[in-house]
Structure 1
Amino acid sequence: MAGSKQKTLILSLARRNSQPLYALNIARKLPEGSFDLMTSKQSTYDCNRFKNCFSIYTYTNTRTFFLSSIFLLPLQFIMLLPKLVRSYDRLYLPYGHFWDLPFILLFKILRKPIIYTVHDGILHQGEGHTAVQYLENFRIKRADHLIFLTHFVEQEIKNQFNRSVPSSVIPHGSLVAHFDFPPKLETDETRILFLGRISRYKGVELLLEAFEESQLPNTRLIIAGEPIYPFKAKELKAVDYHLEYLSEAKIAALLQNADILVLPYLEGTQSGVVSLGISAGLPMICTRVGGLPEQLEEEECIWIEPNKKDLKEALKTMVTDAELRAKLREKMSFKNQDLSKNQLAELKHLILGRTPSH
């Protein structure tokens, strides 16, 4: 039958940050030939490892976004239309993107299932505009099945939309397969790392205050990530800033050379940074907010409330207690954060719509 030859279309049009990485992590778990992966030609991640990956032109900045959305997207979509109708029996969105709207509408018209992984659902304070939240709501309302990374976000969305839609909770898998860690640079300093896009809710100012007041000897704090608001870098002798977009190689080097990873979030849903920390085997300090406690067990990191007093105590404990750091590193090395067999089977069934033969 022709229908049995149809595949799932995985749409991953983001150019950078962790979103394309998450999509690649999902794709590598699926049987080859059961899906096609559509990416952006402007993506910083290479998908050549997949024979069934093809790319379209998207955009490089805000100006080209508007021009490409008006002219390039419609043209490419029309050219792809016969293939979209003929070759695919479902659409999987591993995250939301501005350009997924026409694909969603087409698959709804064709009455073909749409599966969407919801990362945040309700945008964090200071992140995005009303239009971004509207598009997120649009995806959630039109998906036939929602995949959440934490129960926290699942409950938040169900409360917000007050509607019943089939859903599953499948956490972040390990990202270690995508990183080549360089040799570690030797130093006498203990290096504390904050990693990721700098948003107001992530508590970077709180971390800087706590670190400054702690006066920890022979210790260096690295703040690495691209600010999305007017972040003022506090000039401190023992603080290094990398306020820029971080390439895959740069992220790997930062993780490899860190001794401690800190997530001082004031609020949170889930975090891909936790998965990176596990992949790098780093001891972590995490605030007990949102869905973060679902990603690590109680004994797998130092849990704190999002306040300066707790953060100062945790920094001091982690820096001065080498034995504790070693124990946490060992826990990370044994932690199987990759999907369990049951979760992997469910993920394959949802995305592919059939039980894989291998």
Structure 2
Amino acid sequence: MTAVPAARPAPSPTQEDTAAMSADVPAAAERRPLTVLQSFPEPRETTNPYVVMLRDALAAVPGTRVLTFSWRRALTARYDAFHAHWPEILVDGNGPLKKLVRQALFVLLLLRLRVTRVPLVRTVHNLELPEGISRRERVLLRWAERVTAARIRINDSTELDAGTPVETIVHGHYRDWYAAHPRRDRRPGRLAFVGQVRRYKGVDRLVEAFGETTDAGLSLRIAGRPTSDGLAERLREAAAADPRISLSLGFVPDADLVGEITGAELVVLPYREMHNSGGALAALSLDTPVLVPDNAVNRRLAEEVGAGWVHTYTPPLTGADLTGTLDRLRAEPPAAAPDLSRREWDDAGRAHVAAYRRARAALRR
């Protein structure tokens, strides 16, 4: 990946800026709640917990109103900021006709944001555009990038260009989200991958590395829904060849996810490219060590949470990486729970609201 200069954080408004903002905004507007439209619809069981926890944290901030997404709301409702998470979802659809309709609506949305001077704030979950999208989708997403008023990065190691103001609001933990579900007893030698099985997550390499081990006391558990039939079939073939591998290839409800993670001695996330990982934070929130690729983001996470929780390897993953990590973990188990104090959702909610207000004020100036 080509190196880019680190982004400059958005400057805090000065007293003169604040006075100018107040002069530009009518008194009635100051009294009404700050209304934010999120880019995700009303949550369901399968919705990413990150956005649900963000919605709840925003709603808890006094003077804030949160709307979930529908095209009717996006094009007709009154709101002060639009927060996009994975904008590629908004230009995709099941079937050519639905996709074309959504893309036309997306154009109208961007035009409406420009005419009404409503800022588009985007969380940078991924550094690159998705693979396999059409030229039209790529053009629309590039357009959205150009009109973005502020970007939010969820770890402070993310390097972005300096063209658009950047806020850093770290990914919150999952402790409260999973607190209601019972934990399992740890199974010695159990390695686990839990979460949606995507090609870039390298689960096939994990299976190959596990096959290099010979210890009959080791086991590998893979729980999650593959994104393609080909991935699912390859995993089934691997499991059939090694009785130590077990699979649960479907959506993993929260209660089952807690059981799968807490029942493992080590969660392995062999992503080919790892920038932000809710999977790592989910495991740490459930007091389970993780093995992840060695990079700047994961080294910073290891320093943050304390010794013994985040173990790294130099890709490609090997069987020796798996057994060596277990040996180190058993020789020096963590002395205390992971430190996730920087990742409280109350703090994240207030920081997001401040970011929306700064983006709105800057755009209106």
**TM tier, smaller:** 0.7 to 0.9
Given that 1:147 and 1:169 are in contact with CA atoms closer than 8 Å, whether structure 2 keeps it comes out as yes
Match of 1:317 in 2: 324
Given that 2:189 and 2:217 are in contact with CA atoms closer than 8 Å, whether structure 1 keeps it comes out as yes
The change in CA–CA distance for 1:249 and 1:150 in structure 2 (over 3 A counts) is: same
Structure 1 residue 302 corresponds to structure 2 residue 311: yes
Pairs within 5 Å for 1:239-258: 239-258=245-264
The change in CA–CA distance for 1:194 and 1:131 in structure 2 (over 3 A counts) is: farther
Pairs within 5 Å for 1:1-358: 1-4=27-30, 5-13=32-40, 20-30=48-58, 31-32=60-61, 34-39=63-68, 73=71, 76-77=72-73, 81=76, 84-85=77-78, 88-96=79-87, 97-98=89-90, 101=106, 102-123=108-129, 126=131, 128-151=133-156, 153-155=158-160, 158=161, 164-180=163-179, 182-186=181-185, 189-229=188-228, 230-231=230-231, 232-233=234-235, 234-235=238-239, 236-289=242-295, 291-297=297-303, 299=307, 300-308=309-317, 311-321=318-328, 323-324=330-331, 326-327=333-334, 330-332=336-338, 334-339=339-344, 345-353=350-358
The change in CA–CA distance for 1:340 and 1:12 in structure 2 (over 3 A counts) is: closer
The alpha carbon displacement at 1:127 in A equals 6.0
Higher relative contact order (CA 8 A, sep 6+): 2
Deviations along 1:108-161, one digit per CA (max 9) or x if unpaired, are 21012221111104135x565555544443332211111112355442xx2xxx
Given that 1:288 and 1:304 are in contact with CA atoms closer than 8 Å, whether structure 2 keeps it comes out as yes
User: TM-score, normalization: structure 2?
Assistant: 0.72
Q: RMSD between aligned alpha carbons? A: 3.2
The alpha carbon displacement at 1:284 in A equals 0.9
- Where do 5+ consecutive residues of structure 2 fail to align? 1-26, 91-101, 360-365
Given that 1:226 and 1:243 are in contact with CA atoms closer than 8 Å, whether structure 2 keeps it comes out as yes
Given that 1:181 and 1:252 are in contact with CA atoms closer than 8 Å, whether structure 2 keeps it comes out as no
User: TM-score, normalization: structure 1?
Assistant: 0.73
Deviations along 1:227-280, one digit per CA (max 9) or x if unpaired, are 223211112211111222222333222223222111111212211111111211
The alpha carbon displacement at 1:177 in A equals 1.9
Secondary structure (helix, strand or coil) at the match of 1:92 reads: strand
Deviations along 1:195-253, one digit per CA (max 9) or x if unpaired, are 22222221112111111111233222111222223211112211111222222333222
The change in CA–CA distance for 1:337 and 1:227 in structure 2 (over 3 A counts) is: farther
Secondary structure (helix, strand or coil) at the match of 1:210 reads: helix
Letter in 1 for 2:51: A
Distance 2:45 2:295 in 1: 23
The alpha carbon displacement at 1:182 in A equals 3.3
Given that 1:203 and 1:265 are in contact with CA atoms closer than 8 Å, whether structure 2 keeps it comes out as yes
Distance 1:132 1:151 in 2: 29
The alpha carbon displacement at 1:180 in A equals 3.7
The alpha carbon displacement at 1:6 in A equals 3.9
Given that 1:149 and 1:171 are in contact with CA atoms closer than 8 Å, whether structure 2 keeps it comes out as yes
- Where do 5+ consecutive residues of structure 1 fail to align? 41-55, 57-72
Match of 1:63 in 2: none
Which of the pair has more CA radius of gyration? 2
Given that 1:9 and 1:38 are in contact with CA atoms closer than 8 Å, whether structure 2 keeps it comes out as yes
Which 10-residue stretch deviates more, 298-307 or 269-278? 298-307
